[in-house]
């Protein structure tokens, strides 16, 4: 039996759902500046595959790494953790 490698997972907020079956997820990290010690917000955007097209902007979601689905899509939606209010 083949053993699958561990897939990376990220939790973020949906910032765009204007595409068909695709969403843009923003992950925000607080990183300490190496010299000044101040915490800086770093944002990373991922384009993820949303098969059922059920995500809306502001939803908190979990995405998982997957095979390349298009030029920019390398992630897929696992679950919606919290709906936007």
Using the predicted structure, report yes or no on whether residue 85 has a pLDDT greater than 90: no
Whether pTM exceeds 0.85: yes
Which CATH number does the domain housing residue 74 bear?
2.40.50.140
Q: How many domains does the chain have?
A: 1
**Would residue 28 count as lying in a domain?**
yes
Q: Which domain holds residue 68?
A: 9-82
User: Quick one: pLDDT at residue 84?
Assistant: 93
pLDDT digits (tens, 9 = 90+) for 27-71: 999 999 999 999 999 999 999 999 999 999 999 999 999 999 999
What is the DSSP annotation of 11-72? EEEEEE--STTEEEEEEEEEEE-TTT--EEEEEEEEEEE-TT----TT-EEEEEE-S--SSS
């Amino acid at each position: 039996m083949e053993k699958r490698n561990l897939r990376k997972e990220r939790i973020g907020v949906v910032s765009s759902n204007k595409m068909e079956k695709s969403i843009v997820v923003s992950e925000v990290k607080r990183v300490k500046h190496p010299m000044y010690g101040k915490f800086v917000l770093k944002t990373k955007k991922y384009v993820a595959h949303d098969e059922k097209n059920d995500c809306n902007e502001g939803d908190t979601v979990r995405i998982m790494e997957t095979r390349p689905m298009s030029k920019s899509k390398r992630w897929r939606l696992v679950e919606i953790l919290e709906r936007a209010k």
